[in-house]
Amino acid sequence: MKIIHNTKDHLKKIKKPLKKYGHCAEHNSMHYQCMQNSKEKNVVFDFGKDKLILANVDDKNLWELFPSGILAPEKERFLLLSKFLDYALIKKKAEKVVVEVNEEMRKEILEQFKIHKKYKARSPHILYWPIYDMLKWDSKLKGKKWKKLRNIKNRFFKKHRVRAVESRTVKKENLRKILSSWLKKRNNNDIVDKEYYLNLINNNFKGFKFAKTLLIDGEPSTITCGWKIPNSNDYYSSIGIFDYSHKDLGDIANMEDLTNLKRNGFKYVDFGGSDKALLAFKKKFKPENIYKTYIFAIVRN
């Protein structure tokens, strides 16, 4: 097992396993790179033959597995996770390791912990991820099913001039203003890594398939961006922020995002994980399916 700390200089080594074994929405090398900040640094565990674990550690020795960050054949993932846990919890004497995994992987972890009893998992926090079928998304919003969204869109477009542009063509100062306005509306329970968003803007959305901004009456007001999920024809719309300058702006940004993605031939669109409160908003756009991921701490038994 080789440990890589300077991930910026090893992006090629990360990209190949992501292409080979990538399977979840967050499997994007630049997304992983941009998650580093002043307190948290990425650490890659290289097991050879393109098998990696993507993780990070903060300045208080808290280790965290990148979401579904075990890049290996499915049957080998728990074994590699065990080696990562041994390193973080035993060698580095971390108090805990935080992981985010899907339902199947969590079941395997719990079953293996019952057998080996070396580590234990604490209670999870659940995220809900809505998936939209682009065959069923009606860009023209016809019929009773889409009446509420159709009314919102018609009302908004009557009041405002709306134009979509590439976010990369918008001045970074204006993009930071959108981010600042959005951050001010976050409640105390909604923890947002500001540095991550600034990294995306400063890197000109490198590694993203699309990065779109809506100009409302000529003013940049939204940012929606994401990438193609590896080994699929699906898309992860990872970022959707807006400056709250107009009523229903969030609805418009999401509708325009889905319409653009349908136009570009994606099969399904993933709108990202959230708690039940934010999920209620995302349900407006009629998801085909909702899956769960589990965030929980692993500690020594």
Q: Are 224 and 237 in contact (CB under 8 A)?
A: yes
**Residue 257's CB: how many other CB atoms inside 10 A?**
26
Note down the domain range covering 208. 136-266
In a domain, 276, yes or no: no
Residues 17 and 116 in one domain: yes
In a domain, 285, yes or no: no
pLDDT-based confidence at residue 7 (cuts at 50, 70, 90): confident
Q: How many domains does the chain have?
A: 2
In a domain, 287, yes or no: no
The pLDDT of residue 228 is above 90: yes
CB neighbour burial string for 196-228, b if at least 16 within 10 angstroms, e if fewer:
ebbbbbeeebebbbbbbbbbbeeebbbbbbbbb
pTM above 0.85, yes or no: yes
Q: Which residues pair with 239 in a beta bridge?
A: 225
Residues 158 and 95 in one domain: no
Tell me the CATH number at 52: 3.40.630
Residues 141 and 250 in one domain: yes
Tens of pLDDT, residues 122-179: 999 999 999 999 999 999 999 999 999 999 999 999 999 999 999 999 999 999 999 9
The secondary structure of residue 16, as a DSSP letter, is H
Residues 92 and 175 in one domain: no
**Residue 71's CB: how many other CB atoms inside 10 A?**
26
SS3 content of the chain, % helix, strand, coil (to 5): 40, 30, 30
Tell me the CATH number at 151: 3.40.630.30
Residues 119 and 228 in one domain: no
Residues 97 and 203 in one domain: no
Please give the structure tokens belonging to residue 171.
Answer: 């001045």
Please tell me the distance from the alpha carbon of residue 198 to that of residue 34, in angstroms, as a whole number. Answer: 9
What is the number of H-type helices and E-type strands within the chain? 9, 14
**Given this model, what pLDDT does residue 66 score?**
96
Please tell me the distance from the alpha carbon of residue 174 to that of residue 230, in angstroms, as a whole number. Answer: 31
Tens of pLDDT, residues 64-96: 999 999 999 999 999 999 999 999 999 999 999
